[in-house]
């Protein structure tokens, strides 16, 4: 076991007993929404996973320790500290551990720590990807590289719709990452159910999804798989409302010269303001939906 890794006793017992465990990221707590809504949402996501037969493992870095599973007190601490916590990608891990600091885990670092702990399934909101204008800025999320090398199933509501979804899918294809649509042939676009871009394969059941990933692992294939799980219809946003909001947010982001890891939190917050909070409500609901699918799939995988 990695000497910097702490596995919560409940999570460790479940892993050793072959019971289903679902990893959750912590950036959504620290950078995704304001306190106390962030803490309430994180605890509710954990409860949804429990209700669907799995053990939740929220993943973070606290005091230089890699944490696979947080206590309610640690989630409260993360929620209160919020954006003061470093948003940690692969390049930040060694420095945070060496300095004994806190880190909010992105998709990348959640995958890494989940894999260290032996957790195979991870539920999040949306992955990072190729940003619009990346042909000039080269702004491409480390999430895509991690999907290409770490064997974890990532269940999300698609790429964040602030991204260039078409280029993101091309990048994943180049790196050999299978993109699965759960009940859909169209890659979900986070706030909406369809992006207009096709996934590699459509899967209609948790059993089939678990079988696909288990075969992927048994073949010894490098990297993980990405599952696009559409936001429930009743919480999907009107494209005529959300798309202009995204365009406006990106225009302001470019005007202010915001770059790097600050880009996504800025854009999501700006879209939330433009839509009067509706986008945040949709974001929360799609995370709940992904958590349920992840728990049921993890249970099938254990069989």
**What residues are labeled active site?**
25, 160
SS (H, E, C) 1-33: CCCCEEECHHHHHHHHCCCCEEEECCHHHHCCC
At how many degrees (to 10) do helices 72-81 and 37-51 cross?
150
Q: Where are the beta strands (DSSP E) in the chain?
A: 5-7, 21-24, 55-62, 65-68, 86-88, 103-105, 121-123, 153-156, 179-182, 201-203, 225-228
Q: How far apart are CA 37 and CA 82, in angstroms?
A: 11
Tokens of 240: 């005529």
Tokens of 239: 């494209």
Q: Residues 6 or more apart from 160 whose CB is under 8 A from it?
A: 125, 126, 127, 128, 129, 190, 264, 268
- For residue 276, give the 3-state DSSP assignment: coil
CB of 46 closer than 8 Å to CB of 56: yes
Q: How far apart are CA 100 and CA 132, in angstroms?
A: 35
- Please provide the size of the chain in residues: 303
Identify the residue whose tokens are 């409500």. Answer: 281
Q: Residues 6 or more apart from 208 whose CB is under 8 A from it?
A: none
Q: How far apart are CA 298 and CA 303, in angstroms?
A: 9
Write the Ramachandran bin of 21: left for phi over 0, alpha for psi from -120 to 50, otherwise beta: beta
């Amino acid at each position: 076991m990695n000497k910097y890794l702490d596995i919560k006793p409940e999570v460790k017992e479940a892993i050793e007993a072959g019971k289903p465990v679902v990893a959750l990221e912590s950036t959504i707590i620290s950078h995704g929404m304001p306190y106390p809504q962030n803490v309430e949402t994180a605890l509710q996501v954990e409860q949804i996973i429990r209700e669907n037969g799995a053990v939740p493992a929220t993943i973070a870095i606290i005091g230089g320790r890699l944490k696979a599973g947080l206590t309610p007190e640690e989630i409260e601490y993360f929620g209160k500290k919020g954006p003061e916590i470093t948003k940690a990608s692969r390049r930040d891990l060694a420095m945070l551990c060496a300095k004994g600091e806190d880190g909010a885990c992105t998709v990348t670092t959640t995958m890494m720590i989940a894999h260290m702990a032996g957790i195979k399934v991870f539920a999040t909101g949306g992955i990072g990807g190729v940003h619009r204008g990346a042909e000039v800025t080269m702004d491409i999320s480390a999430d895509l590289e991690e999907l290409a090398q770490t064997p974890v199933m990532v269940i999300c509501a698609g790429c964040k719709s602030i991204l260039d979804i078409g280029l993101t899918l091309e990048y994943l294809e180049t790196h050999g990452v299978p993109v699965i649509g759960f009940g859909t042939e169209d890659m979900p676009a986070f706030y909406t159910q369809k992006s207009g871009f096709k996934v590699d394969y459509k899967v209609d059941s948790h059993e089939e999804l678990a079988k696909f990933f288990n075969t992927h692992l048994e073949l010894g294939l490098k990297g993980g798989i990405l599952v696009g799980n559409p936001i429930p219809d009743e919480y999907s946003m009107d494209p005529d409302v959300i798309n202009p909001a995204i365009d406006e947010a990106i225009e302001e982001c470019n005007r202010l010269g915001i770059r790097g890891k600050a880009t996504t939190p800025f854009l999501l917050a700006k879209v939330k303001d433009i839509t009067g909070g509706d986008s945040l409500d949709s974001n929360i609901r799609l995370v709940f939906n992904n958590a349920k699918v992840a728990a049921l799939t993890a249970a099938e995988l254990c069989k």
